[in-house]
């Protein structure tokens, strides 16, 4: 395995920018609507964005200075002047309209009009929210931190959420946002985006719910497997306990296990390999306890 090592000081800013955006992905997108002091509306997406606190609820996005000519963007000028912004969340149904709004139109041009999106009056602040967005956050700007004077330098816009608007169509029966209904999008490098739906979404048990035994405590024959991946081993390592010998023996009566044991009983090497393959398949089907039983049969 070979790596290319790059010192950011030795290459052009545009190359650093491309490498950062290509590697740090996917990135959520702040679809920011602002107004200037005269009330002119601006709407633009920014993928330097995330949530940083729940109490107070804080979002941060960063309009960077343009690399080519070191000029600032209208969004940055507006939030510095008015201290207000609506951060809308874009999803797949409006992703191309959102992209169109990123066009660098002249000051005073309304991107709502250009993109065909609908401005919806906010409750507490002047900038309108995007009606078609599944979620919108009305925010006051607490602080803007400049990260440098040169082209490519970011400006951290620290926003405190005053009101949240959530389309009820994206909520599940428990009132939580359903990621499949949200149908979110994220930014990759270059012209690439990610649609967060279908097979792209998966569940992973959080270690905070339990104290797993860790990969280091797995039996050696499992830990040193040539078939199980690091992810497979970590899923096993997230277990707090492992099946007993009696449970392993009882599981040998399961049809697929009994078939495998019988088919390869005269070839221990092949049996070991097939049991590991079966254990791997069970892990990937989220049947962790069953996978443990199969893998422990190789002891």
- pLDDT beneath 70, residues of the chain: 208-209
How many other CB atoms are found less than 10 A from the CB of residue 92? 14
Tokens coding 132: 């078609």
Residue 228 burial class via C-beta count within 10 angstroms: exposed 0-12, middle 13-18, buried 19 and up: buried
| Residue 19 three-state SS | helix
Looking up tokens 């199969």 gives 294
Ordered strands of the 49-54 beta sheet: 41-46, 30-35, 84-89, 135-146, 155-166, 57-61, 49-54
Per-residue pLDDT reduced to its tens digit, 158-178:
999 999 999 999 999 999 999
Q: How many beta carbons lie within 10 A of that of residue 75, not counting itself?
A: 22
pLDDT at 208 (0 to 100): 60
For 276-286, b/e burial (b = at least 16 CB within 10 A) is: bebbbebbeee
CA dist 160 and 140 (Å) reads 5
Distance (Å, rounded) from C-alpha 89 to C-alpha 184? 8
Rounded Cα gap, residues 126 and 133, in angstroms:
18
Neighbours of 185 (CB within 10 A): 24
Helical residues (DSSP H) of 117-195, grouped into ranges: 179-182
From residue 215, give the alpha-carbon distance in Å to each of 67, 79, 222: 45, 48, 9
């Amino acid at each position: 395995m070979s790596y290319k090592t790059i010192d950011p000081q030795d290459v052009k800013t545009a190359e650093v920018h491309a490498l950062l955006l290509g590697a740090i992905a996917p990135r959520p997108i702040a679809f920011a609507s602002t107004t200037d002091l005269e009330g002119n509306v601006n709407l633009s997406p920014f993928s330097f964005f995330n949530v940083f606190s729940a109490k107070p609820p804080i979002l941060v996005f960063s309009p960077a200075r343009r690399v080519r000519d070191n000029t600032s963007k209208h969004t940055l000028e507006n939030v510095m002047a008015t201290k207000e912004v609506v951060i809308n969340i874009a999803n797949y149904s409006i992703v191309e309209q959102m992209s169109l709004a990123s066009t660098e139109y002249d000051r005073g041009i309304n991107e709502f009009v250009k993109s065909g999106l609908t401005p919806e009056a906010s409750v507490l602040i002047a900038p309108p929210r995007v009606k078609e967005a599944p979620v919108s956050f009305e925010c006051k700007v607490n602080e803007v931190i400049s990260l440098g004077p040169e082209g490519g330098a970011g400006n951290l816009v620290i926003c405190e959420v005053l009101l949240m608007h959530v389309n009820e169509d994206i909520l599940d029966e428990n009132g939580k946002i359903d990621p499949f209904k949200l149908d979110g999008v994220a930014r990759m490098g270059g012209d690439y985006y990610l649609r967060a739906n279908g097979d792209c979404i998966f569940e992973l048990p959080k270690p905070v719910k339990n104290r797993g035994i860790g990969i280091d405590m797995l039996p050696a024959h499992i830990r040193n497997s040539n078939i199980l991946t690091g992810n497979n081993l970590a899923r096993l390592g997230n277990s707090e306990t492992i099946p007993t010998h009696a449970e392993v023996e009882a599981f040998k009566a399961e049809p697929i296990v009994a078939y495998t044991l019988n088919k390869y009983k005269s070839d221990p090497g092949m049996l070991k390999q097939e049991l590991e393959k079966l254990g791997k398949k069970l892990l990937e089907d989220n049947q962790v306890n069953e996978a443990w039983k199969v893998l422990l049969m190789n002891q």
